[in-house]
A and B are shown apart, each in its own frame.
Chain A
Amino acid sequence: MIDVRHVTKTYGKKSTIFTALDDVNFSIPDGASVAIIGKSGSGKSTLMHTMSGLDRPQTGEVIIDGQDILQLKSKEVDRFRSRQMSFIFQSFFVEANESCYNNVGMVCEIADVPSAEHQDRIERALEAVELTDKKKSRARDLSGGQKQRLAIARAIVNDPKILFADEPTGNLDSATGEIIEDLLFRYNREKGVTLIIVTHDHDLAKRCDIMIQIRDGKIVSVDNKKPATKSSRKKAGKS
């Protein structure tokens, strides 16, 4: 359960003040898929950063499993992020010169996963995204879709509870994008992980249980279609 309460984030000082988030309130149940949709500059990225503890709003609370992460010390937030959360970015942000194995391994190292478990976890994650045969290839030699799959492997290796995806298909052609989407939704469904997608792509947003529209830092609408779309999601997963 993620509870966002009265979150307000401003940039700049008095004369040049800019309100990125203006009293944002909503809650997300565990295991849901959520799309945060809005135009660029609407504050959707800031919202994601706030929900992951990367950014600190001036006021408000972000309560994850009963814990207001904005009250945690930075070290504790770091730990929380490394164990409970994960990120996928539009530009992949894989480490080009490292092997696929080491790209995924970095997260294990950061999260202080016992080293005996590393190999097993990394191999399972790579298998989940069908990159087992690329284990030793350098990330720079991968195609765009493969890079994003690698990013997904990296994101799921620690079995996070919340998966943030910032325009995950923005840099990919539609066919490849589809594969990535399927991968994300399947993972969301199979592992019960909360998937939060930041996007301006309405087709992608429609596949999510909850659609949160944001404009100029304000929530315009929260559209929860979870009960109605349960069966249709299953179909989408199979395709």
Chain B
Amino acid sequence: MKARYIVRRAGRSLKQAKIRTLLTSLAIAVGAFTLTIALAAGEGSRQYAEKLISSNINSQALFVVRDESLVGGGGLPGGDGLKEYSETSTQFSGLSIKSLEPKDLDVIENDKDIEQVIPTYLVEAQYMTFEGIKKKYTSDVSVYDASVLAESAAGTLPPLGEQIKDDEVVIPEGFLKALKIDNPKDIVGKKVTLRLVRQVQPSEEEITKTIQEKGSAGLAELVGGEVRDESFVVRVVSKASVTSLSASNALFISENTARSLSDFLTRDTPRYRSYVAATAIVKDGVEPEVVKQRLTDKDLTVRTAEDLQGLLFTIVNLLQGIVAGFGVLALIASVFGIINTQYISVLERTQQIGLMKALGMHSRDVAKLFRYEAAWIGFLGGVIGSVIAWGTGTVLNPWITEQLDLGAGNHLLIFEPLPVIGLIIGLMIIAVIAGYFPARKAAKLDPIEALRTE
């Protein structure tokens, strides 16, 4: 008997037992629903995480440090407490951290696949003032990241990959609150002034000399440090974006400015031109992982954008696994539903099976008939479950986005046809496996017994 006919007959006999078919399918549909949601949530979170990372980290970027404890492995920075003293150590948040020295930067810069190296400049302004506002403020100062496109609330950002001018700054939208400005346009074009103070550690000779020449007033001036005011124009107020972490809290200056200010602040100190970390951009088309390996061989600690994604994805996968686990449990329950339904169906249709066998249907085809019925049930359950999940998810997505504050345009549940089709096929296979024993019972039925008139 041709498979096509068996499939059709299987479908028809299910149609004749509508309620039972539907109820059995619904059991699978519960599993299918949960698994579809799990798939969608996994996909959604992955895409969200990717968006989050890509709007903050260039995928071709390498994060390079000297001190392994900065990027994990040794736990939190300075996790072991006691560290080897180094001349070039930087005091950072009260911790001693080994810095990247100029020769380390040279190593990175000289790598054939590195396009650009941007050290992490530590620019600490004592305070900053804004044109027309009397108060003084403090804020982190950071280098504008040209490799990531931010969103502008006012003013025009340079195109992707281009730095802002050396006398320009980008301020985050978050500043406006403290500045008591409502319209971001009001601040664009205004002047910002940073007050920089260079700490000096004069030698004994210098101190003696100064006291001799200028007295104690001169000494105060000497240790008070060198003061410098730098003025900039606000080019852009960057929009607070949920996915863009870099836009959150720092005043952004150009790379050149950052270098010159950093040089000024660290001149004549051991920290001069040595940095806690650096970002190296790998040339397009070159696998960052390859470059990472090469730099690691040269005693640098390197993390790729992917490494940083890894942790986030581990969490996403774990959560997805938990949801999927419930789906699998529901499926296991539904497997017994199928077995039960099919057994009853075999018992009910004893005569029909006997007749078909008497009329010359092979036992194998009888088994197929019941297996295909099971497959139909699996298919139906899969379709019902995934369609409901898809529909519910699509309807609820805006609400979830709002509740979880994911930011407009981001969805937690992202449905893709291919995994769902795969899921339905998988369910059909599971259903067929569940239908194995009932189908075997049907195939083994003795037609003479089955047709004995009651």
Contacts and interface: CB of A to CB of B under 8 A. Distances in A.
Contacts, number: 63
Contact of A98 (B12, B360, B454): B12
Interface residues of A, number: 31
A74 interface: yes
Given A102-B12, A106-B9, A109-B1, A93 B360 contact: no
A86 B359 CA distance: 7
Contacts of A107: 359
A49 B12 contact: no
A83 B5 contact: no
Give chain B's interface secondary structure class: helix
Nearest to A167: B453
Interface string A13-50: 00000000000000000000000000000000000010
B362 A111 contact: no
B2 interface: yes
B360 A78 contact: yes
Nearest to B8: A109
Given A93-B351, A98-B12, A109-B5, A82 B451 contact: no
A102 B16 CA distance: 14
Contacts of B365: 110
A179 interface: no
B361 A78 contact: yes
A110 B356 CA distance: 8
A89 B360 contact: no
A91 B355 CA distance: 11
Contacts of A55: 448
A112 interface: yes
B358 interface: yes
B138 interface: no
A185 interface: no
Contacts of A115: 2
Interface string A41-77: 0000000010010110000000000000000001100
Contacts of A54: 357-358, 447-448
B293 interface: no
A112 B2 contact: yes
A90 B359 contact: no
B231 interface: no
A75 B12 contact: no
Interface in A85-105: 85-87, 89-91, 93, 95, 97-98, 102
A55 B5 CA distance: 27
A55 B448 CA distance: 8
B363 interface: yes
B348 to A, nearest CB: 11
Given A52-B358, A81-B359, 4 more contacts: A54-B447, A82-B360, A93-B451, A110-B360
16 contacts: A52-B358, A54-B357, A54-B358, A74-B362, A74-B363, A81-B359, A87-B359, A93-B351, A93-B451, A95-B355, A106-B356, A109-B2, A110-B359, A110-B365, A111-B360, A112-B1
Interface of B: 1-2, 5, 9, 12-13, 16, 351-352, 354-363, 365, 447-448, 451, 453-454
Q: Which 5 A-B pairs have the closest CB atoms?
A: A82-B360, A81-B360, A109-B5, A97-B16, A93-B355
